[in-house]
Structure formats: C-alpha cells, structure tokens
Structure 1
Amino acid sequence: MKLQLPALSAVALTTLTLTTAWGLPNHSNSLSFAWVWLLFMVVTALPLSFIEAAIVRRTTHLPLQGLASITRDADAPTFWRILAPLSLLSLVAMIAFAVNRSAQGFVIDNHNIVTAQAFPYLLVFLAMGFAWVGMKRLLPFVWILVPAVLIFNVVSAGQLGTLALLTPEEWQQVATAAILANLSSLGVYAWLTTQHLADEHASRLVMPLWLTQTLVGLATILAGEAKGNVGVVVYMLTAVFACAIFAEVVARQLQDRKVAKPVALGLVMVSAVGLTVAAEFVVFDTVLKVVSLLTVFGLSVLVGWVMKISHARKALNFSSEAIYNLWRVGVRIAAPAVIIWLLVGMVL
C-alpha cells in the first residue's frame, strides 16, 4: 500500500475536483445522488477502469504511442488512433473546466475586476509549475487536501441531503460525472499503470484506484459544497494539483513521441490557457461532455470489440474466466449503452 500511496492520492485529488466541478455536491437530494453514483461506478466506471490497463500492459506504452501497436496487431483501421489525441484534448479541456469552476466560488473585491478575471489563468500557471516539478514527488504529501476539503464542506454545508426521486436529467448528470470524473479512459490510469507494470494482475492496481474514486466521490456528494473563502481556497488547491496531474499525463505522452519536456508542457499550458478563455462560454461544458464521452465510447469499442481477445485476456490476467467474461459484458455492452443514452439525452 505504501507504494500505491501516490497513485491513490492522484485519483482522490482528481475525483474530488471533478465531482465538485460537475456540481454533484451542490444538490439537496445528495442521498439519492449517492446511490446513483454507486450504481454507475459499478456498471460503467468499473469496466472502463481496465481499458487503459489493457492498452498499457499489452504495449508497455501510454495510449498516444500504444494505440498504434493495438491497431496494428488487430489489423484495424488507423483512424482508431485518433482516440489518443482526443483523450489528451479532453484532459486539457478538463484543466480549463476545473480552474474555471474552482475560481467561481472565490469572492474578490468588486474593485479588483482585473484580478478576478485573471484568477483562472493564475491557477493554470500554478498547475503547470507543479507539473514541471513532477507530481510523482508531491503526491505522497498533498493527499491531506482531500480530507481537509471534505471536512470544510461538512462544516460549511451543515445539513444532510434528502432522498427523493430523481429526474431523468439528474440521472444523466450523475452518470456523466461518474464516467468523466473517473477519467479511467482519458490517460490518468495509463500514466499510473506504467509505474506498476510488474504487477502480475491488472486488478491489483485498478481495483484500489477504482475503490478510492468510488469512496471519495461518495464522500464528496454527501459532504456538500463549501461556503466561504477558506473552504473554497482549500478546494482550489486541490483543483490546482489535480490539473497538474492532467498536465503531466498529457506532457508525458508527448514526451514519449520525442517532444522535449519544456516544449510539451509549453504546449499544454498554451492549450489550457486558450481553453480557459473558451470555458467562460456556456457551450463549452456541452462540447467537453460530447468530446470526452465520444472518446471513452471509442476506446470502449476499441478494447472491447477490436482488440484481439487473447491480447486483452493476457494483458489483464484476471483470476478467473468468469471475471473476464463479466468485464467483457461491461466494456462491450453496459458502458457503451450508458454513453449512448447520455449522448442522446443531451440532444433530446
């Protein structure tokens, strides 16, 4: 467990940040949200959590480099490889989305309008700085921010949610958050898997990460949302470190393609700043959801249907054939069906 502390810290920070950014704690029906969160974390997020483990353990490369081997081995069309750049774009967009949301709750003097407008960009620069230092070095120490945020939220919110029947829109809100806050198909799990390739079974890494995300997301929903600058600042720090993780994941994949680290992080920073400008528009959230969900859907189809069965079985090395078959049902049918439902629901 000591070796996994940085990995657990990474998924705890990212899950708390994105679950809050997607608005799940800020709801009176938090008890109902909690049950629906658990449902979709099992039905969709759990099978999706093994997608990048299959890719990385098969190729020993992150997706940007590894998808070429996957498609070549399966004699699949090369257009599947576009999923890797789309996942990187989604992560950079998540940086813009998270800093924009975290800065919204911070109260700044009305006379300092310029400072208020510049605040999200300051958070982006801070995240890039931590990514340059290396989040692997910082993760064993910054995990304390997660319980700190939850405590501030409980004290500030001061009330328990209620149980109530949720509307179809609320079901879709929780389902979308469970898939996108999980981030299992957008690079983070792949980045963590490369650090534990020696493990015989993929589940030894994936299951603790998924369980951590499930519990942190559940606690975030039940704790409520912080009110006041102190709680918001603590959450803001969490968001900065989460964004630094996203930035390092993207930069690391660019480095695998022989891009120098300063250039890679510079590209991430410029892209994040540009998307932070776009994040101020309402349509940005919808575009982010669509692109991210389509990327996850494509990766689910690629690993579940296109990737050779023998390669996936050997890469994941489940303890029994029954567990492997359950995972195949989840990644081939359950997860894609939920994503299609979410995409259709956004149109209707």
Structure 2
Amino acid sequence: MSRWLSPLMAFCLSFMIIVGLAPSLGIQVDRQIDFWLLWLATMLILALPITYLEIALAKRSKQSPLAALGGLTRDADASQKWRIVGWLSVAFIPFLAGAILANVTSSTSQFSQIGLQENLFFVICAVIAFGLSFLSRQILVLLTALGVIASLVLANVFGTALQPWHVTPVEFKEWGNATILALVASGLGLGLYWQTNTLHAKETQASSSVLPIWFAQLIAVIAFGFFAITAQIPAFALVFAAIVSAALLLQLAKEQLSQRQIAPVLQFVIVLVALFVWAIPNGAAIFNPILMLWGLVICLIYAIFVGWIMKISHLRKAMNFSSEAFYNIWRIAVRIVTPLAIVLAMIAFVGQIF
C-alpha cells in the first residue's frame, strides 16, 4: 500500500492545488507552449532536487518533519532557529487547504446556481473537510483520486472548448509563475512526501521513492494543461475533490503536530485558524500572493539548510546514489541553483503584484 500512496497523493494534491492557484496565476485557460516548456524546465531543475531533498531527510531522520528538525539541527551543530521552517511548513499546510477550498468555492459560486454566499459556502465546505480529516489516510487519498478523476472526466464531457495551443514571447514574470507551479503547486517543501515515506525508509536508493512522486506531479499538471477545468464543469465534482483534498492536508498537518506532542487543543487552534482565515470577506486577494511567497520561502530555507548548514556527508548514505557524480550534481542544484532560482522567482512574482 505504501508504494502507491505517495505517488497517488502527489498526483491528486498537485492537481487540486494548481486548480486552486491557476486563476491567481492567470493560467487557467491560456495555453502557452512557451510557458509550459518553462514549467517543464523548473520541474527538472527545481522540483526534482527538492523532492530528493524531502525523501533523503525522511530516510535519514525516520521521523515526520516537525519532530525530526530537532535532531537534524543538533546533528548539524546548527542554531535552533532553523527549526522555524518546520513550523512555517506545518502552519502552511492548513493555510493551503483553505486556499484550495476558498478559490474553488469562489469560482463555483460565481458560475453555478448554488444559492449561497461565497463565505458561507466556504465555511460549510471547511467544516466538512475538517470532519473528514479524521478518516484514515488511505480512504482520503482514494476519495481525493475519485474526485480528481470525476473532475477531469466531467470537464471534458460538459466543459467548453479549450483555447488552442500558441507561442508567445517569454517574459520574466513567467519564471515566477512557473516556479510557483513547480514547487508550491506540487506541495514541495511542506514535508508531505517526507511524512508519508518516514515509516517506510529503507536502505535503498532514494530514486525508488522520488521518481514515482515526481512523475505523478508531472502528470497532474500535464492533465491540467490539456484538460483544464472550465467554469461550466458541474460544481459538485470539483467541490467534492476540493473538500477531500483539503481534508487530507488537514490530517497531515494534525499528524505532524501530534507527533511533535503538541496538546490536542493547540493542534486544533493552529489548524482551524489557518483554515478559517480564508473566510474573511475579500481576503483571497491578499492571501493568495502571501500563500505563493510563503511556499517559496519554505523551499528556499530548506535548500539553504540542507545545502549549506548540514554536513556534506549527512545525506550521502540516505540518497544511496549509484554514482558519486549524481550526488554532486544534486548537491550543486540544492546549494546554488535552487536558492538563486527561487529568489529570482520571488522577485518576478512581486513585480507582477506591484
């Protein structure tokens, strides 16, 4: 069961996150060949190294991210301040769940006859998602997969014709959007795949866990690009997929907090505040940019911590590459390429806002 859980979760969550973020990035209907080629490049040079990073940390620590960072910082003789990335990540997970629900319920409220105010519709969906988060992980992943597949099928049965593929000049702002799509929309930096691979960490090559996850992320966004969800899709399928994917994210956040031995009451406060902040009227216009920058910052901190703070030998055994050259290429990517690329993406994205 563990072999298919992470890739299936990667496909479902990546698809639903991009569905939620697409309107803010302006890519929900415009199918530019140049942009998607740029995204493919970011998947290779940014997303793949970060996915290796998460699995390597899982194999080394054999604990979920929030609990593991204490030991990892001690092993690296690093300041406890680096543990802040774990708290940023675990708070980001329910915030991301809220973003998926808020953006999906907003779009479906505008183009369907639900008859509820957007905020009330969001609150109802959020309450249902929180209740579903107490189901087992396997059930939630299967329900999310069912919702995603139904959304794809119904989008093609009832959706309108998509715009034809076309080529446009590459702009600097597209680097920011492509990086957000590759990292934030893939759920990277949050420890989700680290968390789901912790109990199954074995002395095998990290690639055996990483590549299925990476290909699943790739397929999810390709599916979005070719079979984009349109406003005319029956709302229930997309809303169902959003609710169960949000429930899955909430469960992952609660599990990390529980393994960190946080009091149950405080667990619920952290999760529910980050989730229901999206109920603030017109809050999405402010929270969506924060969400994207927050996600990039988390990936940046992890890249710096693993690339520059942890010792060079710490993850070599966990990666268990067949060639030393592959390890050195990955380390260069994490130490130099990834931080610089993320900083450029943040500059590009902020430039769009202002």
Rounded to whole Å, the distance in 2 between the matches of 1:130 and 1:28 is: 34
Rounded to whole Å, the distance in 1 between the matches of 2:282 and 2:179 is: 22
Rounded to whole Å, the distance in 2 between the matches of 1:203 and 1:161 is: 36
Q: How does 1:213-232 map to 2 (within 5 A)?
A: 213-228=217-232, 230=234, 232=235
Rounded to whole Å, the distance in 1 between the matches of 2:36 and 2:155 is: 16
User: Match of 1:13?
Assistant: 12
* 2:180 maps to 1:176: yes
Q: What are the superposed Cα offsets for residues 116-161 of structure 1, whole Å, 9 maximum, x if unpaired?
A: 3211112212221221112223324542333322233334132353
* Secondary structure in 2 matching 1:105: helix
> CA 1:322/1:161 → structure 2, altered by over 3 Å: closer, same or farther?
farther
* Secondary structure in 2 matching 1:132: coil
Give the 4+ runs in structure 1 shifted more than 6 A.
108-113
> CA 1:346/1:112 → structure 2, altered by over 3 Å: closer, same or farther?
closer
Q: What are the superposed Cα offsets for residues 74-125 of structure 1, whole Å, 9 maximum, x if unpaired?
A: 1111111100000112212111211111101224799987543211112212
Aligned residues: 346
Please say if residues 161 and 222 of structure 1, whose CA atoms lie closer than 8 Å, have aligned partners that are also in contact.
Answer: no
* Secondary structure in 1 matching 2:134: helix
Rounded to whole Å, the distance in 1 between the matches of 2:175 and 2:266 is: 41
* TM value normalised by structure 1: 0.91
| Alpha-carbon offset, residue 286 of structure 1 | 1.8
Match of 1:341 among 322, 327, 344: 344
User: Match of 2:260?
Assistant: 257
Q: Which amino acid aligns with 2:86?
A: A
User: Match of 2:285?
Assistant: 282
* 2:208 maps to 1:209: no
Please say if residues 300 and 336 of structure 1, whose CA atoms lie closer than 8 Å, have aligned partners that are also in contact.
Answer: yes
Q: Which amino acid aligns with 2:21?
A: W
Q: Which amino acid aligns with 2:89?
A: S
Aligned-pair RMSD on alpha carbons? 2.4
User: Match of 1:66?
Assistant: 68
> CA 1:111/1:45 → structure 2, altered by over 3 Å: closer, same or farther?
closer
User: Match of 1:153?
Assistant: 155
Q: How does 1:47-66 map to 2 (within 5 A)?
A: 47-66=49-68
Please say if residues 278 and 284 of structure 1, whose CA atoms lie closer than 8 Å, have aligned partners that are also in contact.
Answer: no
> CA 1:124/1:30 → structure 2, altered by over 3 Å: closer, same or farther?
farther
* 2:313 maps to 1:310: yes
Rounded to whole Å, the distance in 1 between the matches of 2:117 and 2:285 is: 22
Give structure 1 stretches of 5+ with no counterpart. none
- More displaced, 265-274 or 115-124? 265-274
> CA 1:37/1:258 → structure 2, altered by over 3 Å: closer, same or farther?
same
Rounded to whole Å, the distance in 2 between the matches of 1:309 and 1:92 is: 33
Rounded to whole Å, the distance in 1 between the matches of 2:282 and 2:337 is: 31
Rounded to whole Å, the distance in 2 between the matches of 1:194 and 1:330 is: 24
Q: How does 1:189-208 map to 2 (within 5 A)?
A: 189-198=193-202, 200-208=204-212
Please say if residues 6 and 197 of structure 2, whose CA atoms lie closer than 8 Å, have aligned partners that are also in contact.
Answer: no
| Alpha-carbon offset, residue 184 of structure 1 | 2.2
| Alpha-carbon offset, residue 263 of structure 1 | 5.7
Q: Which amino acid aligns with 1:35?
A: L
| Alpha-carbon offset, residue 49 of structure 1 | 0.6
Give structure 2 stretches of 5+ with no counterpart. none
* Secondary structure in 1 matching 2:230: coil
User: Match of 1:88?
Assistant: 90
Using the aligned pairs only, state the percent identity.
Answer: 25
Rounded to whole Å, the distance in 2 between the matches of 1:91 and 1:253 is: 10
Rounded to whole Å, the distance in 1 between the matches of 2:111 and 2:295 is: 35
User: Match of 2:302?
Assistant: 299
User: Match of 2:41?
Assistant: 39
* Secondary structure in 1 matching 2:229: coil
User: Match of 1:133?
Assistant: 135
Rounded to whole Å, the distance in 2 between the matches of 1:140 and 1:225 is: 20
* Secondary structure in 1 matching 2:347: helix
* Secondary structure in 1 matching 2:313: helix
Q: Which amino acid aligns with 2:106?
A: Q
Match of 1:163 among 159, 163, 166: 166
* Secondary structure in 2 matching 1:4: helix
Please say if residues 305 and 332 of structure 1, whose CA atoms lie closer than 8 Å, have aligned partners that are also in contact.
Answer: yes
* 2:330 maps to 1:327: yes
| Alpha-carbon offset, residue 163 of structure 1 | 2.2
